[in-house]
């Protein structure tokens, strides 16, 4: 065997595999995903020109996040669409409940006291009736709260995390059985953002009718009036449950939300 084809084997001690209990901080996500797998996801996406909401944010002293504008715009659109406020009620006779208030679920990336990273959600109640400053105030309350605070907005989540997984699942099903309680916990629609990272888009999992994903805003060449210009664009994705909405209806909702954001402050 020539030197060019000779192989050598280095003896090393293999790194052992570690096994631990499922992280308590992820029990909420696990329970949610078990429920979300029962939906029929379809995805759409559109590029949104953020010029006007960037100006509105500047005028507000940059105290309002882009997520708050998406929550407000989507809530206004959904408030005018009964189909988008539908909640399936499974059983021998399948029914659809149409809720009146448009609650928004917002996702947050948090860490527990021991450093475990997890995604948790907070609810902006009746978002269609709130302005962006009020929406931001609610978001900040969740964002700044300690997951371990027994009197904070995450207190109920902490209780669920202490339950064994089968019991956590049963508790979740009990709470979400009624449409009003389900939307109070999970929202009529959800908003999740990856705009803090150089990621163009996210396609969220949903267990309701609708979920929006917000990507990073990037200066992008666009054509305006036959001329090339640069505009701040971001990708707004929409996940919808095909059992409740058809593609044409979902496309109209996404287009209307896009228009509301791009024409912010002109109506």
For residue 253, the model assigns a pLDDT of 97
DSSP annotation of 26 reads G
For residue 113, the model assigns a pLDDT of 65
Percent of the chain residues topping a pLDDT of 90 = 45
What domains appear along the chain, each with residue ranges and CATH number?
24-262 (3.30.559.10)
At residue 81, φ and ψ (nearest 5 deg) are -130, 100
* Longest alpha-carbon distance in the chain: 80
Q: Could you say which residues of the chain have pLDDT below 70?
A: 1-10, 25, 27, 30, 32-36, 113, 267
> Quick one: how many helices (H) and strands (E) in the chain?
8, 9
Other CB atoms closer than 10 Å to residue 117's CB: what's the count?
11
For the stretch 155-182, pLDDT in tens is 777 777 777 777 777 777 777 778 788 8
For residue 249, the model assigns a pLDDT of 94
For the stretch 114-169, pLDDT in tens is 777 888 889 999 999 999 999 999 999 999 888 878 888 877 777 777 777 777 77
Q: Burial-class residue 256 by CB neighbours within 10 Å (0-12, 13-18, 19+).
A: middle
Sign, Cα dihedral of 91, 97, 103, 106: positive
């Amino acid at each position: 065997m020539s030197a060019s084809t000779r192989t050598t084997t280095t003896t090393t001690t293999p790194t052992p595999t570690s096994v631990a209990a499922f992280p308590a901080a992820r029990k909420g996500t696990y329970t949610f995903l078990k429920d979300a797998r029962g939906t029929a996801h379809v995805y759409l996406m559109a590029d949104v020109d953020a010029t006007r909401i960037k100006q509105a944010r500047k005028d507000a002293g940059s105290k309002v996040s882009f997520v708050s504008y998406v929550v407000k715009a989507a809530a206004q659109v959904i408030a005018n669409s009964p189909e988008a406020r539908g909640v399936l009620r499974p059983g021998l006779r399948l029914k659809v409940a149409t809720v009146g208030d448009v609650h928004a679920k917002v996702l947050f990336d948090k860490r527990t006291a021991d450093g475990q990273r997890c995604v948790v959600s907070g609810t902006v109640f009746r978002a269609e009736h709130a302005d962006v400053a009020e929406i931001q105030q609610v978001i900040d309350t969740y964002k700044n709260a300690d997951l371990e605070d027994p009197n904070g907005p995450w207190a109920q989540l902490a209780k669920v995390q202490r339950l064994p997984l089968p019991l956590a699942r049963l508790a979740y099903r009990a709470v979400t059985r009624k449409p009003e309680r389900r939307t109070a916990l999970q929202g009529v629609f959800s908003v999740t953002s990856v705009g803090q990272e150089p990621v163009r888009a996210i396609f969220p999992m949903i267990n309701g009718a609708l979920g929006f994903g917000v990507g990073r805003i990037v200066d992008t060449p666009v054509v305006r009036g036959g001329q090339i210009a640069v505009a701040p664009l971001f990708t707004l994705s929409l996940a919808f449950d095909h059992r409740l909405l058809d593609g044409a209806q979902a496309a109209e909702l996404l287009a209307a939300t896009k228009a509301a954001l791009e024409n912010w402050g002109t109506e």
